[in-house]
Amino acid sequence: MVHRPVLLRESVEWLGLRPGLTVVDGTVGAAGHSRVFLEKVCPEGFLLGLDRDPQVAELAARELIRAGFTRGKQFEVEVWRFSQLSEALACRRTPRFDRLFLDLGVNSLHLDRAERGFSLKREGPLDMRMNPQETGAASAADLVNGWPEEELERIFRQYGEERFSYRIAQAIVMRRSTESFKTTRELQEVVAGAIPRRAWPPRLDPATRVFQALRIAVNGELDELDAVLAAFPGLLNPGGRAGIISFHSLEDRRVKEAFRELARGCICPPELPVCMCGRQPQYKLLGPRPITAGEKEIEENPRARSAKLRVIEKQEIPPSGERKDG
């Protein structure tokens, strides 16, 4: 399967890439975005690609070398989580950067490899860990076979927005009382059987939401996203931009709220008739609404249908220390 980077043209355009910039691609994946980013910022610029999965990170490095870029001089690819962004920069003695890019969600490379346990179409071990080498990393099988019924119900409802979460959790607990879950197919069949046939979503496997919820729980994805949203503002250079692509409402809501708070000016109580704090916005939202894929891209790459790109810019600060008007 050919990897198609989502919203590639839009990402390049809204990030405002130009020669000499330092870019952090926090979800380097198959380097589809990073390769084009490097074309825009080289020869003087530099890209630091990060990925939680060691296999994916090494693949990305090979792809960028194959594209003609020099590792160590024009780019580097390393294994880090979102919550380790500050540490990743400190280890490279790169305290700040000009552009941050995140393409959230599961990597298509994970879905293509049955042995990773992410796919509903390819039977494999029930794993779903983005980095199995992380100390104490629990697999999806560990959760499904060991977590209490009420905890399973909670993650299916909160992370998968699954309205049959209670029935599904009950069915899982009943099944594991006689035989533990080992494969993705076993879980898929139990989940599908717990959902009334008339309620199966059109064009989607009925277990899709449960698999999403387990993946998020296994990898702590929302906590990791919250961590990077809190960290990047202090690491972005003035005039810098951050662009984040999300694929479901749980992610997009967090990005939207974090960006909106950064772009907020006055923090006076709403009952005051006029602003007394004089606080000026430190960031500017780019675009009145999230950027989405056009019909042509969706036709060529159905994954792009749910993609939303949000971009924010850190305001320049004049040498005097006084913020510009407007």
Q: Is there a contact between 228 and 103 (Cβ–Cβ < 8 Å)?
A: no
Instruction: Provide φ and ψ at 229, rounded to 5°.
Output: -65, -35
Q: Do domains 8-103+222-314 and 117-219 have the same CATH topology?
A: no
Beta bridge pairs of residue 97: 236
Across residues 58-80, what is the average pLDDT? Answer: 96
Residue 3: which pLDDT band, with cuts at 50, 70 and 90? low
CATH of 117-219, one of 1.10.150.170, 3.30.1330.10, 1.10.3720.10, 3.10.20.30: 1.10.150.170
Q: Is there a contact between 314 and 241 (Cβ–Cβ < 8 Å)?
A: yes
| Better pLDDT: 302 or 148 | 148
Q: Please state, rounded to an integer, the average pLDDT across all residues of the chain.
A: 92
The full set of domain ranges for the chain reads: 8-103+222-314, 117-219
Q: DSSP alpha helices (H): ranges in the chain?
A: 8-15, 32-41, 54-66, 85-91, 108-112, 140-146, 149-159, 165-176, 184-194, 208-219, 221-231, 249-262, 295-300
Peptide bond into 281 cis (omega under 30): no
Starting at the edge strand found earlier in the chain, the sheet holding 97-103 runs: 75-79, 46-51, 22-25, 97-103, 236-246, 308-314, 283-291
pLDDT score of 276: 79
pLDDT digits (tens, 9 = 90+) for 36-59: 999 999 999 999 999 999 999 999
Q: How many CB atoms lie within 10 A of CB 256?
A: 18
Residue 148 to residues 75, 102, 142, 154, 249: CA-CA distances in angstroms? 45, 33, 11, 10, 26
Give 314's contacts (C-beta < 8 A, 6+ positions apart): 233, 236, 237, 238, 239, 240, 241, 282, 283
pLDDT score of 321: 44
pLDDT digits (tens, 9 = 90+) for 207-228: 999 999 999 999 999 999 999 9
pLDDT score of 248: 92
Q: Which CATH architecture does the domain made up of 8-103+222-314 adopt?
A: 3-Layer(aba) Sandwich (3.40)
| 324: three-class secondary structure by DSSP | coil
pLDDT digits (tens, 9 = 90+) for 149-161: 999 999 999 999 9
pLDDT score of 165: 98
Q: Is the pTM higher than 0.85?
A: yes
Q: Does residue 76 have a pLDDT over 90?
A: yes
